[in-house]
Amino acid sequence: MFNLFYRNRQLLGLTLTLIIVWGLSALFTLPRMEDPEITQRNAQVVTFLPGATPERVESLVTEPLEDELFELEEVDSLESTSGTGISIISIELKESIRNVDPVWSKVRSKIDDAVPDLPPEASDPEYQENLPSASALIVGLTWELPGEPNYLILGRLAEGLEDTLRSLPGTDKVERFGNPDEEIRVEITASELTRLGLTAQTLSQQIAASDAKVSAGQIQGDRSEFLLEVNSSFESLERIRNIPIQVGADGATTRLGNVAQISQGVQEPATNLAYVNGYPAVVVSATVESDYRVDTWAEVARTALTEMEANLSDGLGLHIVLDQSRYVQQRLNGVIGNLMLSSLLVIGVSLLVRVRSAAS
Residue ranges covered by each domain of the chain: 42-129, 140-181+271-328, 186-266
Q: What is the pLDDT of residues 42-70, one digit of tens each?
A: 899 999 988 888 999 999 999 999 999 99
The dihedrals phi and psi of 320, each to the nearest 5 degrees, come to: -85, 115
65: nearest Cα among 80, 54, 51, 83: 80
Q: What is the pLDDT of residues 283-337, one digit of tens each?
A: 999 988 877 888 888 889 999 999 999 999 889 999 999 888 887 777 777 777 8
The dihedrals phi and psi of 227, each to the nearest 5 degrees, come to: -95, 140
- Given a contact cutoff of 8 angstroms between Cβ atoms, the answer to whether 237 and 150 are in contact is no
- Can you tell me the distance from the alpha carbon of 15 to that of 99, in angstroms, rounded to the nearest whole number? 39
Q: What is the pLDDT of residues 133-188, one digit of tens each?
A: 678 899 999 999 998 888 888 988 999 999 999 999 989 889 998 887 778 888 88
- Can you tell me the distance from the alpha carbon of 130 to that of 306, in angstroms, rounded to the nearest whole number? 33
- Measured in whole angstroms, the distance separating CA 290 from the mean position of its chain's CA atoms is 16
According to the model, what pLDDT value does residue 6 have? Answer: 59
- Given a contact cutoff of 8 angstroms between Cβ atoms, the answer to whether 318 and 164 are in contact is no
Fill in the DSSP letter of residue 60: I
**Top mean-pLDDT range of 26-30, 35-39, 326-330:** 326-330
Domains 42-129 and 186-266 share a fold: no
According to the model, what pLDDT value does residue 357 have? Answer: 66
Apex 95 CA angle, 91 and 98, nearest 5 = 100
Mean pLDDT score across all residues of the chain: 82
Topology annotation, domain 140-181+271-328:
Alpha-Beta Plaits (3.30.70)
- Given a contact cutoff of 8 angstroms between Cβ atoms, the answer to whether 12 and 3 are in contact is no
Q: Which residue has the higher pLDDT, 34 or 157?
A: 157
- Can you tell me the distance from the alpha carbon of 136 to that of 315, in angstroms, rounded to the nearest whole number? 27
CATH no. for 186-266: 3.30.2090.10
According to the model, what pLDDT value does residue 360 have? Answer: 61
**Which superfamily does 42-129 belong to?**
Multidrug efflux transporter AcrB pore domain (3.30.70.1430)
Percent of the chain clearing pLDDT 70 (strictly above): 85
- Given a contact cutoff of 8 angstroms between Cβ atoms, the answer to whether 315 and 171 are in contact is no
